[in-house]
Chains A and B, each alone.
Chain A
């Protein structure tokens, strides 16, 4: 039932054609319910947050978690015989489907494990789905996070602080800016200071990105109001509180109002952790050279590490396509990811039963 590339492409197309920006994830619940039922999962439910969760087996709980929301911007969904294109194909409906298939592939060969596959909500916004699992005491001894890693095993994600900054000023005429007071000039000075302070260009450094900037309503006026959204990413050992304190000090210097929208700590686990080792073995058993990666971004892995430190992210697809209009998923990569994860689950089952 797994060898047919066309069948798998058809399943992914169903997921991708159902447009589910954050907040509209419920559109996918019935389709996922049909798919997991077809693959023999024993139980399925939607929790209060809107997370879709399917499971089978009894024993040590293992969570395979991906997300069912996408960034906004619907794209034409189609299959060209090799790749499925469309919003969410790579981030993260392709990885989610690979997890559903992996669970099904491993089903007859795992003992002593309870396998959960979860499609979480609002990963692209505030991680509400993952936070709901944590706050409601969801238990799992080992967790895999379904994100596009191009079959790399991700052991680290940077932390993130997102904030909105705003300022009001007296304004003035553009012909004499030196006697006026521009809100835009003030916020730009603040933003340039932030960019200078956090000017990193790799995983190991702190980076900053201005993602939204609004100011001005007339070509001849100095803006009386300005606002921006800013995102700072940082690796271990930096902490969100440290970044927030630095941003606060800079905002006070320029009289800028600072509102923290979201803060998430960085996560990094050892390659000796059991789930990482099982994934390494899963790769080797499928003739794939294991490749360990650190991700510059932030995902549900940062949050779900509160449940267990035996956690890693893994999935098919090129992460550079995520959040772009070019999203696609190679179906053979998706199938290979499923086979690697299924092997890892079988290895884990053997390890735990001994």
Chain B
């Protein structure tokens, strides 16, 4: 499992081997919602995900 750095708190976060570009993860230590980016060389890094939006109904 690759270990990446949380861009919010600087802590470590393990990413599953089969993670896809664009997958979302929560860093359980700081609660940040993160998105996996993979460049053309296959290098992975995390960026802050878009803010969770509000939906209505039920």
A residues within 8 Å of B by Cβ?
91, 147-150, 152, 154-155, 157, 202-203, 270-272, 277, 280-281, 284-285, 289-299, 319-320, 322-323
Does B24 reach chain A (CB closer than 8 Å)?
A: yes
> Bound complex: CA of A271 vs CA of B20, how far in Å?
15
A148 near B57 (CB under 8 angstroms)? yes
Given contacts A271-B33, A290-B24, whether A202 and B57 have CB atoms under 8 Å apart is: no
A298 near B28 (CB under 8 angstroms)? no
Interface stretch, picked from B4-12, B39-47, B48-56, is B48-56
| Closest Cβ neighbor of A351 among chain B residues | B18
17 contacts between A and B (CB under 8 A): A91-B57, A154-B55, A157-B58, A271-B24, A272-B26, A280-B23, A280-B24, A291-B53, A292-B24, A292-B53, A294-B54, A295-B56, A296-B54, A296-B55, A297-B57, A319-B56, A319-B58
Pick from B22, B26, B50, B56: contact of A271, CB under 8 Å: B26
> Bound complex: CA of A236 vs CA of B5, how far in Å?
29
Chain A residues positioned under 8 Å from B20 (CB to CB): 281, 284-285
Pick from B21, B33, B50, B57: contact of A147, CB under 8 Å: B57
> Bound complex: CA of A148 vs CA of B53, how far in Å?
15
Chain B residues positioned under 8 Å from A203 (CB to CB): 54
Taking the closest CB of chain A, its distance from the CB of B51, in whole angstroms, is 9
A320 near B57 (CB under 8 angstroms)? yes
Given contacts A270-B28, A271-B33, A294-B52, whether A284 and B23 have CB atoms under 8 Å apart is: yes
Given contacts A149-B55, A270-B26, A296-B55, 12 further A-B contacts (CB under 8 A): A148-B57, A272-B28, A277-B23, A285-B20, A294-B54, A294-B55, A295-B57, A296-B56, A299-B58, A319-B58, A322-B58, A323-B57
How many inter-chain residue pairs (CB < 8 Å) link A and B?
Answer: 75
- B6-38 residues at the A interface, CB under 8 angstroms: 20-26, 28, 33
A293 near B55 (CB under 8 angstroms)? yes
Chain A residues positioned under 8 Å from B33 (CB to CB): 271, 292
B55 near A281 (CB under 8 angstroms)? no
Majority secondary structure, A binding face: loop
> Bound complex: CA of A265 vs CA of B6, how far in Å?
32
Chain A residues positioned under 8 Å from B21 (CB to CB): 284
Pick from B23, B25, B28, B55: contact of A152, CB under 8 Å: B55
> Bound complex: CA of A97 vs CA of B35, how far in Å?
31
Taking the closest CB of chain B, its distance from the CB of A22, in whole angstroms, is 14
> Bound complex: CA of A257 vs CA of B57, how far in Å?
29
> Bound complex: CA of A322 vs CA of B53, how far in Å?
18
Given contacts A270-B26, A292-B24, whether A320 and B56 have CB atoms under 8 Å apart is: yes
Chain B residues positioned under 8 Å from A148 (CB to CB): 57
Given contacts A271-B33, A272-B28, whether A290 and B56 have CB atoms under 8 Å apart is: no
Chain B residues positioned under 8 Å from A149 (CB to CB): 55
Taking the closest CB of chain B, its distance from the CB of A233, in whole angstroms, is 10
> Bound complex: CA of A273 vs CA of B1, how far in Å?
17
Taking the closest CB of chain B, its distance from the CB of A280, in whole angstroms, is 5
> Bound complex: CA of A152 vs CA of B58, how far in Å?
15
> Bound complex: CA of A297 vs CA of B54, how far in Å?
10
Chain B residues positioned under 8 Å from A319 (CB to CB): 55-58
| Closest Cβ neighbor of B23 among chain A residues | A280
> Bound complex: CA of A295 vs CA of B54, how far in Å?
6
Chain A residues positioned under 8 Å from B52 (CB to CB): 155, 292-294
> Bound complex: CA of A271 vs CA of B33, how far in Å?
8
> Bound complex: CA of A320 vs CA of B56, how far in Å?
6
Chain B residues positioned under 8 Å from A298 (CB to CB): 58
| Closest Cβ neighbor of A321 among chain B residues | B57
Taking the closest CB of chain B, its distance from the CB of A139, in whole angstroms, is 24
> Bound complex: CA of A202 vs CA of B28, how far in Å?
25
